[in-house]
């Protein structure tokens, strides 16, 4: 990517409140076909919580608050 493009993409990611990596993932998702051998993968990574720290709290969501004990918190 050219520096001018990178700046433009970063500005758009900032406007959307997401990382540049997430902006690129979303963009690629619109042009690449889904893998028909794994139909469930179509939904992987598509859930938005609105919480910018959600990725750091995934254990709480998946396993419940008791998972904090196993992490030493």
Those residues whose C-beta lies under 8 Å from the C-beta of residue 42, and which sit 6 or more positions away, are 34
* 8 in any annotated domain: yes
pLDDT one-digit tens code per residue, 16-36: 999 999 899 889 888 887 677
Which residue matches tokens 């619109």?
30
Q: Give first-to-last CA distance, the chain, whole Å.
A: 41
Range of the domain at 20: 1-35
Can you tell me the distance from the alpha carbon of 45 to that of 29, in angstroms, rounded to the nearest whole number? 10
* 53 in any annotated domain: no
Task: Tally the C-alpha atoms within 13 A of residue 67's C-alpha that lie toward its C-beta.
Answer: 10
* 72 in any annotated domain: no
- Mean pLDDT for the stretch of residues 38-52: 66
* 4 in any annotated domain: yes
Query: What is the total count of domains within the chain?
Result: 1
Q: What is the pLDDT of residue 72?
A: 53
């Amino acid at each position: 990517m050219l520096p001018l493009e990178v700046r433009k993409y970063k500005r758009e990611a900032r406007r959307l409140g997401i990382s540049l990596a997430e902006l690129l993932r979303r963009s690629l998702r619109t042009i690449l076909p889904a893998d028909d051998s794994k139909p469930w993968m179509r939904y992987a990574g598509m859930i938005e919580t609105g919480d910018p720290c959600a990725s750091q709290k995934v254990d709480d969501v998946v396993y419940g608050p008791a998972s904090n004990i196993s992490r030493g918190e």
